[in-house]
Structure 1
Amino acid sequence: MQTVYNADSIVDAQIAKDALEASGIPAFIAGAALIGGMGQLPARGFIRVMVPDIAIPEARRILGEVFPDPPAAAQVRRVASDFGPTGFKPA
């Protein structure tokens, strides 16, 4: 099995897993049990969705359709860069 998706949250991982399984691709969420061990700290990079090696190309195609937009963090950085260092949008 290989990782086809690095999830930001268990919810994203479950959405990816459900989409893959609905298409007939067996999927496994690795790292879900580590979330409870992190306590109040945000856990990033621990949750991965994995599929059998033979299903990787089809899984990547499906996940590209399920998650077409860039991650929310990239969108936040883009919006924040539209504003000057004072927090106001330049005229």
Structure 2
Amino acid sequence: MQIAYRAKDITEAHIVAGLLKANGIETYVGGHYLQGAMGEIGAAGFSNVHVEDEDLYPARQLVAEYEASGHVTPVTEGDDGKSNSYARWFLLAMAVLALILLNL
């Protein structure tokens, strides 16, 4: 499976997945459990829409058309760094917590 779309959040991922399914492309939305790890913080950048290898090109065409219509703001690698920033701070906090617990 290939990543056809990197969504800002799980809701957006399911909207795009629904669009693809409505056009006959089977999808898998990943990142449900990763977002839950962030708790109440607005986690972003963990949700991806996956499609089969042979459906990658048509899926990306449909997503590009949908983005061009103004319904979805595209997320690109290194967009504004916020999604990566959340993940880095979360991982840093978890590492510090693990070190504290191991030293007890």
TM-score normalised by length of structure 1 = 0.71
The runs of 5 or more residues in structure 2 that have no matched partner are 81-104
Residue of structure 1 in register with 2:56 after alignment:
56
What's 1:89 paired with? none
- Structure 1: which 5+ runs fail to align? 78-91
Select the structure that is richer in helix.
2
| Residue 71 (structure 1) aligns with | 73
Cα separation, 1, equivalents of 2:45 and 2:34: 11
- Once residues 74 and 62 of structure 2 are traced to their aligned partners in structure 1, the CA distance between those partners, rounded to angstroms, is 20
1:15 is paired with a residue whose SS is helix
Q: How much identity, in percent, do the aligned residues show?
A: 34
Residues 72/54 of structure 1: CA separation in 2 closer, same or farther (3 Å cut):
closer
- How many positions carry a matched residue from both structures? 74
Shift of 1:4: 1.0
Q: Normalising to structure 2: TM-score of the pair?
A: 0.63
Determine the structure 2 residue equivalent to 1:13: 13
Provide the residue aligned with 1:82 in structure 2.
Answer: none
Residue in structure 2 matched with residue 34 of structure 1 by the alignment: 34
Q: Residues 4-58 of structure 1, C-alpha deviation per residue, up to 9 Å, x if partnerless?
A: 1110011110111001001110000011222222112221221000000000110
Letter in 2 for 1:26: E
Partner of 1:84: none
Give the 4+ runs in structure 1 shifted more than 3 A. Answer: none
